[in-house]
């Protein structure tokens, strides 16, 4: 664990979809990171910090909102290059985040060119700085976590699409769950060390599960059968480009590894569908119901229309979306 205790991810109440998406991205950073949408006060930074503890380095780096390009990518000292014959590199945020989590709060308020650069490096795993014919390259492999409140401004569609997965948090939490969240937060704030010790066995189990998933990931084939299912569903969803297909396939493989399976199955494809499609799906008007279906105001199944916890109305989901049953925290 790090010197400064972070709230353990295993102790977070609810947010199962988000916890799963974060772990899948930790298993395979090539998925392209997670964009978290939701109002303030939803523990987005707490979840991101908890994720850092599951990685080998435990590194957690925050990109300040007012950061410059040099602060992000680093700088080259040309005077040192001329006098000493070598480029002296001063690392930026990307270098410091290598092997850990790079957290960008309010990513929709960052200048577009910085977001674009950030996503380029996250995809390649390498940062290249060039200045006046001198260059420096370094590893920049990190799990990218961005957050935004849509009420404070949208992210351009071109940049939105480049985030691998997208999860939306709802601020309406049932009273029992709210009470449990507050109680655990108070316990942590009063004695962080003791709280982390109490949760260490569960946190260690989570670390081991992620590590095992990473170790078997490459042995799980990105097979043609899974790809065919995904491409058909992407076409049906009307998504532009091919990024959704690739992200969905990688996320499904990471989910198979998360389960400890040796191949991608239908349940893996279904489990990550909404993560990959939510920010890429074209909004469409719902089709008229067939004559043998209930009319408006009627309900075919009394249990339909409720969310995962039974408190969210169907209207809380995007048009055409389907809430998947998360795989958190089943054992493999």
Residues acting as catalytic residues: 243
Tokens found for residue 12:
């977070």
Segment (H or E) for 72: helix 69-73
What's the distance, CA 160 to chain centroid?
13
Contacts 24+ apart (CB under 8 A), 69-77: 69/113, 69/114, 69/117, 72/114, 72/117, 72/118, 73/117, 73/121, 73/127, 73/129, 74/127, 74/129, 74/136, 74/138, 75/129, 76/129, 76/131, 76/134, 76/136
Using CA atoms, how far apart are residues 94 and 247, in angstroms rounded to an integer? 22
Helix (H, G, I), strand (E, B) or coil at 161: coil
8 Å CB contact between 63 and 104: yes
β-pair type (75-77, 60-62): unpaired
Q: Rounded CA gap, 278 and 38, in Å? A: 14
Distances (CA, A) of 82 to 92, 136, 196: 22, 15, 51
Angle at 332 between CA 265 and CA 100, to 5 degrees: 95
State residue 100 phi and psi, 5-degree precision. -130, -145
Q: How far apart are CA 68 and CA 70, in angstroms?
A: 5
Contact 243, 250 (CB under 8 A): no
């Amino acid at each position: 664990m790090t010197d400064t205790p972070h709230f353990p991810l295993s102790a977070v109440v609810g947010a199962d979809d988000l916890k799963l998406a974060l772990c899948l991205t930790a298993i395979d950073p090539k998925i392209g990171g997670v964009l978290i949408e939701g109002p303030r006060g939803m523990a987005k930074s707490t979840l991101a910090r908890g994720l850092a503890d599951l990685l080998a380095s435990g590194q957690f780096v925050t990109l300040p909102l007012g950061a410059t390009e040099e602060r992000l990518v680093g700088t080259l000292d040309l005077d040192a290059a001329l006098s000493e014959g070598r480029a002296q590199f001063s690392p930026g945020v990307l270098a410091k985040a290598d092997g850990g989590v790079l957290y960008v709060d309010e990513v929709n308020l960052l200048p577009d060119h910085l977001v674009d650069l950030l996503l380029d490096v996250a995809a390649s795993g390498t940062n290249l700085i060039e200045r006046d014919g001198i260059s420096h390259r370094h590893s920049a492999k990190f799990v990218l976590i961005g957050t935004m409140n849509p009420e404070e401004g949208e992210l351009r569609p071109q940049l939105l699409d480049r985030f691998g997965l997208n999860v939306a948090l709802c601020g309406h939490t049932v009273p029992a769950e709210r009470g449990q969240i507050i109680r655990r937060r108070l316990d942590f704030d009063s004695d962080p060390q003791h709280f982390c010790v109490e949760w260490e066995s569960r946190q260690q189990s989570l670390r081991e599960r992620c590590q095992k998933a990473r170790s078997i990931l490459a042995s799980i084939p990105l097979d043609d059968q899974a790809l065919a299912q995904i491409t058909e569903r992407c076409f049906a969803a009307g998504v532009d480009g091919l990024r959704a297909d690739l992200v969905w396939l990688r996320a499904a493989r990471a989910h198979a590894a998360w389960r400890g399976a040796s191949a991608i199955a239908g349940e893996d494809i279904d489990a990550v569908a909404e993560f990959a499609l939510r920010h890429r799906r074209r909004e469409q008007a719902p089709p008229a119901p067939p004559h043998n279906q209930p009319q408006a105001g009627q309900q075919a199944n009394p249990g339909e229309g409720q969310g995962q916890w039974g408190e969210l109305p169907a209207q809380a989901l995007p048009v055409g979306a389907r809430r998947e049953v998360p795989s958190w925290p089943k054992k493999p």
